[in-house]
Structure 1
Amino acid sequence: MYRIMRNAWIDTTRARSRHGQTFVDEEAGLAVGDAGDKQIEAVVELGNVGRAMQSLPADQREAIALVLVEGFAYKEAAEILGVPMGTLTSRLVRGREALMTKLGEAA
């Protein structure tokens, strides 16, 4: 009987020490992980922008990609596309308006 009681006491002591090593306070667990809602929203919004860009005519899409995405100056983008600066500007204006309309519908 003594041996059984001794083994039960050892098992209980080991369990308590493992419990302290395995489990932490609830407050410490609150900081673990990320809800991910902001990341999910960003992915969805990026998909919306991509679909809106694909729906634009090719000339507007190219102008927006060069100026707004790649960061080229208007003059450089006009040279790359081989169009006058006024043409590039009008494509940008129409493209931006179309994007804002399409993205407004997606929201």
Structure 2
Amino acid sequence: MQSGELEAQIPQLRRYARSLTGDAWAADDLVQDTLERACDRWQLWKAGSDLRAWLFTVMHNLFVDSARRALRQAGQRVDLEDAAPELVAPAGATEQVLDLQRCLQRLPEEQREVLLLVTLQDLSYEEVARVTGTPVGTVMSRLSRARSRLRELMEGAPAASAAAPAVLPFKRMK
């Protein structure tokens, strides 16, 4: 793996990390951790295979480990439905992106990851299955549930219902 190949993946890693974490600082930390792990374990990458998919797998595993660690340390779980009033963005067209981000954060983690990998990173269902370590059928099911739930959330947010279908294009299996 050459450093140029790795550097070319950074913008996509940042975009995916930002979507996962919902926070710029946490996203930068996740990208940094991903790059460090990739450099430390470069020998695990198979030359000729998809570097982007491998890096997303590394990031996915780091994110899941971090989330589990945070849950253990906190000792309790916060139900996002209880916090729903705090997550609703103010009305207005300029707030639509913020509404989408808040609604994405309300999706279950496994659904959000699949949705972002398919729609934002343009990975095939098979690639998402490899990244997340789940069967293709599970990927398709999670994606369908994520789209439905996100549509419901966006329709519940003022002035956002018209944007929901444009944000989530249907992706056919390759």
Give the number of the structure whose residues are more often helix, by fraction: 1
Question: Does 1:74 find its partner at 2:125?
Answer: yes
Counterpart in the other structure of 1:90 = 141
Counterpart in the other structure of 2:19 = none
Q: Percent identity?
A: 34
Calculate the TM-score normalised by the size of structure 1: 0.60
2:155 to 85, 104, 107: 104
Which residue type is aligned with residue 65 of structure 1?
L
Q: Which has the larger radius of gyration?
A: 1
Q: Which 4+ stretches in 1 moved above 6 angstroms?
A: none
Counterpart in the other structure of 2:115 = 64
- Once residues 60 and 92 of structure 1 are traced to their aligned partners in structure 2, the CA distance between those partners, rounded to angstroms, is 6
What's the CA shift for 1:63? 0.3
Which residue type is aligned with residue 60 of structure 1?
Q
What's the CA shift for 1:70? 1.0
Which residue type is aligned with residue 50 of structure 1?
Q
Q: CA RMSD in A?
A: 1.2
- Partner SS state of residue 71, structure 1: coil
Matches within 5 A, 1:37-52: 41=93, 43-52=94-103
- Once residues 119 and 106 of structure 2 are traced to their aligned partners in structure 1, the CA distance between those partners, rounded to angstroms, is 17
Counterpart in the other structure of 1:54 = 105
- Once residues 101 and 127 of structure 2 are traced to their aligned partners in structure 1, the CA distance between those partners, rounded to angstroms, is 24
Aligned positions, number: 67
Q: Deviations over 1:8-52 (max 9, x none)?
A: xxxxxxxxxxxxxxxxxxxxxxxxxxxxxxxx72x4111011000
Which residue type is aligned with residue 147 of structure 2?
R
Q: Deviations over 1:45-64 (max 9, x none)?
A: 11011000000100001000
What's the CA shift for 1:88? 0.3
What's the CA shift for 1:76? 0.5
